[in-house]
Structure 1
Amino acid sequence: MDIQIYDHTKEEPKENIELIQNVLEFAGNYLKLAENTEMSVTLMHNDEIHEINKTYRQVDRATDVISFAIEDDSDEDPIILDDELAEEITPNIGDLMVSVDKVKEQSEYLGHSYQRELGFLCVHGFLHLNGYDHIKPEDQKIMFPLQKEILNAYGLKR
């Protein structure tokens, strides 16, 4: 996968950036995504994610992770390409925004490492980018076990 990581905080250690890269690469392989699949992750503080949450989701508070899927369901007609042209187009699944402040708060509250919470939020958002959701109980029964399975297989157990 081609994963672009932007650290708006300018504070995140190199090891955590590598963790994000590695856990998302692992998750992409786990879901058998195309090797050339693209996505981005932006690390930010609560004030920035609060503004994004307010602007795009009309929720006036900071949150831990926001997913913006490129190929979200829409009312627009899909573009139909022949197989040869479709193979040339790089799939881009979207963008994740992660609050490092929430990572710290939640890891302390839940009693596990910062790295485990960071990995969890990245995989959680990644699954949203790939069409998984947890609003309905039947969707939770699919997404939550898959999330746990990926994290455990990677080695980020609670």
Structure 2
Amino acid sequence: MPIYNLSELFLTKVNFIFEHLPDNRLSKKEFKGKVKMALRIIEESENMNLESVNLRITDDESVREFNKSYLNHDYYTDVITFDYNDGTADVMISSVTVLKNAENYSVSFSNELLRVVIHSFLHLAGYDDISLAKQKIMKLKEDHYLKVVETITF
């Protein structure tokens, strides 16, 4: 079994900003590890290279305000991804919408949260979900990467 230097394994810096989380639904340590692993796997598999990502988990109103101000979309959403095309990105996630979606899909909060993080990383890798066909491709990729990351224990 190969031995990895973790500083070499996780090349992209991820800044975690936890502003709003449901009580006792997430192990931050485990979540951070899975996010970093998902990013590393997607970067390698999708030939993507980032320097840093700011991952902000906040509430519905904050995400809606950014959605309205920067994308001219006046509605709630689970995740918004800002790719600055310079090796940096911002990801904003509404924990409120993620929790509602988790309940609707009968999955855990942590599973749905990781899914939307993977979804945002796929956007950073160049995928979009504008058409139904592209949505299907992204969903298949989300499922694949989620399954890979969920098999890793931390």
TM-score (norm 2): 0.75
**In structure 2, do the counterparts of structure 1 residues 152 and 136 end up closer, same or farther at CA, with 3 Å as the change threshold?**
same
Q: For residue 52 of structure 2, what is the aligned residue in structure 1?
A: 38
What do the CA deviations read for 1:23-61 (whole angstroms, capped 9, x no partner)? 323322332434x63222111111111111111122222
1:132 aligns with 2:133: no
1:3 aligns with 2:17: no
1:30·1:150 contact (CA, 8 Å) conserved in 2?
A: no
Give 1:61's match in structure 2, choosing from 75, 96, 100.
Answer: 75
2:34·2:149 contact (CA, 8 Å) conserved in 1?
A: no
What do the CA deviations read for 1:48-101 (whole angstroms, capped 9, x no partner)? 111111111222222100011112xxxxxxxxxxxxxxxxxxx61411111111
1:20·1:118 contact (CA, 8 Å) conserved in 2?
A: no
Q: How many residues align?
A: 136
What do the CA deviations read for 1:96-119 (whole angstroms, capped 9, x no partner)? 111111111110110001111011
| Structure 2 residues without counterparts, runs of 5 or longer | 1-11
Q: For residue 80 of structure 1, what is the aligned residue in structure 2?
A: none
What do the CA deviations read for 1:98-149 (whole angstroms, capped 9, x no partner)? 1111111110110001111011000101111121012124433432222221
Residue type at the aligned position of 2:39:
L
Give 1:110's match in structure 2, choosing from 97, 105, 110.
Answer: 105
1:3·1:40 contact (CA, 8 Å) conserved in 2?
A: yes
Higher Rg = 1
Q: Tell me which stretches of 4 or more aligned residues in structure 1 moved more than 4 Å.
A: 10-13
TM-score (norm 1): 0.74
Residue type at the aligned position of 1:125:
S
| Structure 1 residues without counterparts, runs of 5 or longer | 72-90
Superposed CA RMSD? 2.3
Identity across matched positions, percent: 25
Q: For residue 92 of structure 2, what is the aligned residue in structure 1?
A: 97
